[in-house]
């Protein structure tokens, strides 16, 4: 198994570390196929009083009782871990030392699916959460910027892992912007802690 060295220099002085080849191509392909079968939902979100479709599909798996509310609007109720997702969670916990008890999936069906600037600072994750973000399928641009600062671009590759370290969600924002390029599906799995619940 690949060992991550979390004591190496963080990527570009940002509170993240990027591992482009975290999974082998065979592992990434197999996981992508598994993820295609997950229970994807089209959720609705209320923004300034208007209800709209979230511009991507979402799914959530995790420990019992770990419901996840974001933007004060979308409540996600975790399904029990699949064996493959639980194995991946344990592998990421072992090599990072961070604890995760939910995984939130995002499926970007094409270049119009996206996620705007935000920080993952929901109370349910506790104080200064670490988040591990695994990418599969099409490469998309991921941007990270200090609040009020300039963005740095990452191109998140098939089988890559991006760790957002504790503190990142208080000092930085991130997004996956829309693109006019022809891109096919990208699946992203974000492993997160949850202050409640337990297996």
Ligand X SMILES: O=C(O)CCC(=O)C(=O)O
* Interface contacts to ligand X, rule CB under 6 A: 104, 106, 115, 120, 133, 142, 156, 174, 176, 188, 190
Distance (Å) of CA 144 to CA 22, 51, 85, 178: 20, 27, 26, 15
For residue 106, the minimal CB distance to ligand X (Å) is 5
Tell me if 38 sits within 8 A of 59, measured CB to CB: yes
Cβ nearer to ligand X, comparing 3 with 136: 136
For residue 52, the minimal CB distance to ligand X (Å) is 18
Cβ nearer to ligand X, comparing 95 with 156: 156
For residue 70, the minimal CB distance to ligand X (Å) is 8
Cβ nearer to ligand X, comparing 81 with 160: 160
Exposure on the CB side of residue 198, measured as CA atoms within 13 A:
0
Cβ nearer to ligand X, comparing 4 with 16: 16
- In angstroms, the CA 127 to CA 166 distance is 8
**Nearest to 58, CA basis, from 121, 138, 114:** 114
Closest residue by beta carbon to ligand X: 188
């Amino acid at each position: 198994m690949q060992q991550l060295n979390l004591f190496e220099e963080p990527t570009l002085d940002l509170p993240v570390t990027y591992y482009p080849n975290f999974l082998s191509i065979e592992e990434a392909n197999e996981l992508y196929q598994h993820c295609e079968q997950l229970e994807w939902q089209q959720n609705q979100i209320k923004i300034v009083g208007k209800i709209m479709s979230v511009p991507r599909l979402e799914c959530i798996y995790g420990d019992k009782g770990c419901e996840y509310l974001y933007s004060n609007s979308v409540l996600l109720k975790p399904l029990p871990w699949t064996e493959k997702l639980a194995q991946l969670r344990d592998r990421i916990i072992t090599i990072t030392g961070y604890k995760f008890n939910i995984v939130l999936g995002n499926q970007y069906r094409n270049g119009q699916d996206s996620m705007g600037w935000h920080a993952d600072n929901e109370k349910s994750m506790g104080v200064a959460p670490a988040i591990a973000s695994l990418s599969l399928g099409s490469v998309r641009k991921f941007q990270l910027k200090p609040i009020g600062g300039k963005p740095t671009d990452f191109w998140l590759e098939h089988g890559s892992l991006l760790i957002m370290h504790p503190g990142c969600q208080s000092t930085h924002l991130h997004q996956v912007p829309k693109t006019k390029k022809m891109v096919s599906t990208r699946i992203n799995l974000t492993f997160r802690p949850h202050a409640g619940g337990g297996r």
